[in-house]
Amino acid sequence: MKQAKFTLDPAFRIGAVDPRVRGSFVEHLGRCVYGGIYEPDHPDADSDGFRNDVLDLTRELGVTTVRYPGGNFVSGYQWEDAIGPRSERPRRLDLAWKTLETNEVGVDEFAAWCRKAGVAPMMAVNLGTRGVQEAAALVEYCNHPAGSYWSDLRAKYGAKEPHDIKIWCLGNEMDGPWQIAHKSARDYGILANQTAKAMRLVDPDLELVACGSSHRRMATFGAWEAEVLEHTYNVVDYISLHSYYKPKDGDFASFLASGVEMDAMIDEVVATADFVKAKLRSKKTINLSYDEWNVWYHEPGDESEWAVAPALFQDQYTLADAVVVGSLLNSLIRHADRVTMACFAQLVNVIAPITTVNGGPAYRQSTFHPMRLAFQYGVGDALRVEPTGPEVETPEYGSVPQLDATATLDPETGDLAVFATNRSLTEPLQVDVDVRALKDVRPVEHLSVHGERDAVNTVDDQERIVPRAQDVPVLEDGRVRFELPPMSWSVVRLATT
């Protein structure tokens, strides 16, 4: 069997993994909100109409932050439609997804759901069809204590205490020509700058995210970030990145190596942000918010004709998809020094790790498992690991290392976790980790997500893909050894106390 090697050393510290990289996304799209987090007629709904089973799975997943209400949806959204008595809320045509939006759920309900789920909300404002005034009013509605028009209206509608939402996205994917009100980098940069200033006047403690590119393959990628940041550098904290992956023309070798592209996109956006920093002679560093990432199969274009909560983009995830999701999480962890926020898109039903049946159960898709494990054990400091070993050939990325690995060390507990993807479709891999730099190290557990490439979890067979315990790794001569099944993602846990 082929072998890969690397060294685990606490001195090779990249940075602390920010808990906010464990974020997700709830958009008014398909059945994510209606039939997803909210289904008042469901037997397991609470008194606010939220599905308890979805709340339980959200907590189990370990999500910390949830972005809302879009996505493309936000670029035509009028947030005022979805406040106040439900019977008076208008039904609107959502032009982004050709859906009928009932506005039964709005910012007050979402904030209440976040409190129940134990997550922080991350709001997006509409910088497509709207602008400065509406964004500032929404911040006032959410965060101003009392005594103004919008804050008093919030209290009148039942939320006396402010929602205190601190993380805000300045629009969504404004580089995308599919947006009704698509903008040039210059126009968006100027609008984002003005909006940020107004929002900060209402609440100075906000953290703001400027829109980066919708994908690395956008023709404007790079130039877009540079120009947007030149306009917004002093008033924002983050630049966003979005990426979705899928196997193209049956090319699973490249699909399993999707993390190569995620790594490249992160490095390129960091370089652009730091170039603008140098150009502006700024002391401030802009970090990255990877606020949409996932595997996504269904192409936009499936949209229904003005239905309420149609079943859109309900991808059913395979074992191969779970392995890719695991490797994308490896990429985020290894860039802990600059990627300090991230949201997998989306939480429930729409390209999601949680699937629900209307009136029926909720269950975990294959991708749920690497997320839960990486969120649970990928805590503390990210450690740089540099594997050497065999390579695999991919049509898209050329020759890439068969082992994709990263690691974390929790300084509070002394626990370590190695996250490892075997990118070979067919060959197992022996891994040899030099742990001589660690004192009293003890292997604890090896959990692996592997199996048949196209296997999926379904409502009738919910446990076809679950993490499976492997042999506990062997410690010998200062080395920890374990074996990775073909096409697998694993977490190997070590203790040092």
| Residue 326 is a binding residue for ligand AHR (CB under 6 A) | no
Q: In this complex, which beta carbon is closest to ligand AHR, that of residue 212 or of residue 387?
A: 212
CB of 175 to ligand AHR, least distance (A): 11
Q: In this complex, which beta carbon is closest to ligand AHR, that of residue 29 or of residue 418?
A: 29
Interface with ligand AHR (CB under 6 A), residue from 345, 435, 480, 494: 345
- Quickly count: other Cβ atoms within 10 Å of residue 491's Cβ: 23
Distances in Å between the Cα of 219 and the Cα atoms of 44, 213, 267 are: 46, 10, 18
429 in Cβ contact with 403 (< 8 Å): yes
Region from 5-13, 64-72, 444-452, 464-472 binding ligand AHR, contact rule CB under 6 A: 64-72
CB of 313 to ligand AHR, least distance (A): 7
Size of the site for ligand AHR (CB under 6 A): 11
| Residue 108 is a binding residue for ligand AHR (CB under 6 A) | no
Render 436-480 in DSSP notation, one character per residue.
TTSSS-EEEEEEEE-S-TT-B--SS-TTSS--EE-PPPEEETTEE
| Contacting ligand AHR within 281-320 (CB under 6 A) | 292
Torsion sign across C-alpha atoms 39, 41, 46, 51: negative
Cα 339 versus chain centre, distance: 11
Interface with ligand AHR (CB under 6 A), residue from 24, 58, 65, 72: 72
CB of 351 to ligand AHR, least distance (A): 6
| Residue 173 is a binding residue for ligand AHR (CB under 6 A) | yes
Q: Which of 109, 173, 225, 227 is catalytic?
A: 173
Q: What kind and span of H or E run contains 432? A: strand 429-434
CA pair distance 111, 109, nearest whole angstrom: 5
Region from 66-74, 112-120, 274-282, 427-435 binding ligand AHR, contact rule CB under 6 A: 66-74
354 in Cβ contact with 54 (< 8 Å): yes
Site map 190..219 versus ligand AHR, x via CB under 6 A: ------------------------x-----
Torsion sign across C-alpha atoms 272, 224, 68, 330: negative
Catalytic residue at 476? no
Catalytic residue at 292? yes
CA pair distance 364, 355, nearest whole angstrom: 7
> Pick from 379, 447, 385, 386: which is nearest to 416 by CA?
379
CB of 246 to ligand AHR, least distance (A): 13
Q: Contact positions toward ligand AHR, by CB under 6 A?
A: 27, 29, 70-72, 172-173, 214, 292, 345-346
Which residues have a catalytic role annotated? 173, 292
